[in-house]
Chain A
Amino acid sequence: NAGVTQTPKFQVLKTGQSMTLQCAQDMNHEYMSWYRQDPGMGLRLIHYSVGAGITDQGEVPNGYNVSRSTTEDFPLRLLSAAPSQTSVYFCASRPLDSYEQYFGPGTRLTVT
């Protein structure tokens, strides 16, 4: 049981490039979400999903896309990277009947 896994751990992008951050969970959780955390700040919700085929926006969705084709996977796409997207990105999952959320190890993204 690996929990929530994220790849890559580190990534450097140039402005304007696109990429996909991968997230997978093996706990059969319906709810999955993406957060970003800037230095010294709390977490801000980007997008979330309550099940396969269902996604919704969080607090800071601009510049990001998500899809949920399976229960296990919830990739986050950066459409055209900007320096303001330099951050640590966390993926998380939980069952729908609890607020006990499980977080992945994070992806540290730098956009130059």
Chain B
Amino acid sequence: LAKTTQPISMDSYEGQEVNITCSHNNIATNDYITWYQQFPSQGPRFIIQGYKTKVTNEVASLFIPADRKSSTLSLPRVSLSDTAVYYCLVGSNFGNEKLTFGTGTRLTIIP
């Protein structure tokens, strides 16, 4: 599983767009990039997954440049309820892959 690097923490104001970047310099050709969100006292929740370019769902967008050595999770118009820890994971062997989480990025939304 390719190692990932994320900022430890970020602050943002309500209503702003938040971008969290994850570096994965050793990403392999077949690797996918997956993001999870974790609220206090809860298990992580899947947000989005992508392989290249851009993926968008009702919660977030994921931008992946052509070299795929990094990815950016974009949260539009955040609210206080988006305060959480966000984890970036990279892997390719769905079947047997151990999903390991790093320490993530602690996002705090300020009113």
B94 in contact with A104 (CB, 8 Å): no
CA distance A58 to B97 in the complex (A): 10
List residues of A (47-88) whose CB comes within 8 Å of B's CBs. Answer: 48, 50, 56, 58-59
Q: Which residues of A contact B46 (CB under 8 A)?
A: 99-102
| Contacting residue for A42 out of B32, B91, B96, B102, CB 8 A | B102
Q: Are A103 and B99 CB-contacts (below 8 A) given A42-B104, A96-B94, A98-B94?
A: no
Question: B interface, how many residues as a size bin?
Answer: 20 to 34
Question: Least Cβ distance of A9 to chain B in Å?
Answer: 11
10 A-B pairs with CB atoms under 8 Å apart are A35-B101, A42-B87, A42-B103, A56-B98, A58-B98, A90-B44, A92-B43, A98-B49, A103-B44, A105-B43
Interface residues of B (CB under 8 A from A): 32, 34, 36, 41-46, 49, 87, 89, 91, 94-104
Interface residues of A (CB under 8 A from B): 31, 33, 35, 41-45, 48, 50, 56, 58-59, 90, 92, 94, 96-106
